Structure 1
Amino acid sequence: MSSVRRRRLTAVSLTAVAGLTLTACGTSFGAQTNQVYQPAVGANERGEVESHNTLLVGNRDGSATLSAGVVSNLDTDQTLTKVTVVDEDGKTLTVKAPKAPLTLASRAFTTLGGTTPDSVFVVTSGAVPGDYVTVTYTFSDSAEVEIDAPVVARADHAGEYEDVAGGDGLVPAAVSGSESSTETETE
């Protein structure tokens, strides 16, 4: 075998080995193609009823607005009858809810905490930015959904939460359901 041919064969072999070695470095055991990846601040819960990017956004008056995207994967519409929020110490916080129960259309995305007052749930006090709280959704015909969600300060994320109700420091007038120190049901 000639020396030119031998050098070419060696170069091709080294290139192939280097390529395989370098591509293996990027995959490791925690490659995101093998795991569910959550790039956003909020938490996700998947099941019959899913809650996406769930978090509480702190308002200037000390309250916090629940912000989430909820999807019912069931064949029938669901009614969100109650939202309960518990802090890290196990204390149930007061939640002001819309006057009427919120209907979730089957297989449709519903935004909580947006510009529609019928979907705004506000924790009146006790949700401290930087902490986590446990949010529990109760539905008419589905199991409860429980999710640990962060509380974020609106001021720390200027512009990011502009569309979340309560940014002006005021709770929308339509969110005036009865207050309770344990849990609030919509009527």
Structure 2
Amino acid sequence: MSITSSSQAFRRVALAGATVALSTAVAACGAGFGAQTLQPYQPSEGTNADSGSIGVRNMLVLASEEGKGELHGAIVNSGRADDTLSAIAIAPAEDGTDGAGTGGGGETAVKIENFKPADLKAGTSFTLPPKQGLPVTVTGAKPGQMIRVTLTFGQAGPITTSIPVLTEDHYSPSPRNDGEEAHG
């Protein structure tokens, strides 16, 4: 074997090694605690929130243009102990207005009705609207708004979060050219 052939083979091996080292270094730049794959991703339109082993998933309101709607979502108990969903109520907004941001005169324009406490068995989920019984109704919240609600549990800490109000056909309103609202 000639020196030229050995020299070319050495260069190829060195180039391949450098390529592997460089690709590993470049890939490591995207790793660590700030890596995009470690960031939460919520592909749904609703809101997700957690309190200990209790998780609220895809919580939203589907409402008519007149402001009559139903609360939708799931509450998951991933813990080992049973819990209870004891209340769902409109929460004051962070700016002191009511939960729909319509004014803080002490009277809330948005109301939640037909709520019945629900058992949250360990390792199960509870869906809204419930499979049996009346749905939890929301009045006064119109599509395009965000409302703040507080969910209270028997064991877990309360969850206060903002949830979107969507049209009954699951689409948020989008503006038209003439300034009137249309469904997208």
TM-score range, shorter chain: 0.5 to 0.7
CA positional deviation for 1:111? 0.2
Match of 2:152 among 108, 118, 138: 138
Q: Is the 1:76–1:105 contact (alpha carbons within 8 Å) kept by the matching residues of 2?
A: yes
Code of the aligned partner of 1:6: F
Would you tell me which structure has more strand in proportion to its own residues? 2
CA distance in 2, matches of 1:10, 1:141: 62
Root-mean-square deviation (CA, aligned residues, Å) is: 3.1
Aligned to 1:6: 10
TM-score, scaled to structure 2: 0.66
CA positional deviation for 1:67? 1.1
Match of 1:95 among 73, 97, 112: 112
CA positional deviation for 1:60? 5.7
Structure 1, residues 50-75: CA drift from partner, whole Å, max 9, x if none?
A: 21111112236531211111124462
* Partner SS for 1:65: strand
* Partner SS for 1:46: strand
TM-score, scaled to structure 1: 0.65
* Partner SS for 2:101: coil
Q: Is the 1:78–1:106 contact (alpha carbons within 8 Å) kept by the matching residues of 2?
A: no
Q: Is the 1:130–1:151 contact (alpha carbons within 8 Å) kept by the matching residues of 2?
A: yes
Q: Which runs of 5+ in 2 are unaligned?
A: 92-98, 173-184
* Partner SS for 1:143: coil
1:124/1:36 Cα in 2 relative to 1: closer, same or farther (>3 Å)?
same
Structure number with greater Rg is: 2
Aligned to 2:137: 122
CA distance in 2, matches of 1:115, 1:35: 33
CA distance in 2, matches of 1:137, 1:107: 19
1:28/1:145 Cα in 2 relative to 1: closer, same or farther (>3 Å)?
closer
Structure 1, residues 7-31: CA drift from partner, whole Å, max 9, x if none?
A: 3133313421442255346548742
CA distance in 2, matches of 1:106, 1:23: 40
Match of 2:81 among 75, 84, 87: 75
CA distance in 2, matches of 1:10, 1:23: 20
CA positional deviation for 1:144? 2.3
Q: Is the 1:84–1:137 contact (alpha carbons within 8 Å) kept by the matching residues of 2?
A: no
Q: Is the 2:83–2:156 contact (alpha carbons within 8 Å) kept by the matching residues of 1?
A: no
CA positional deviation for 1:94? 1.3
Code of the aligned partner of 1:59: S
CA positional deviation for 1:41? 1.7
Match of 2:123 among 97, 100, 107: 107
CA positional deviation for 1:76? 3.4
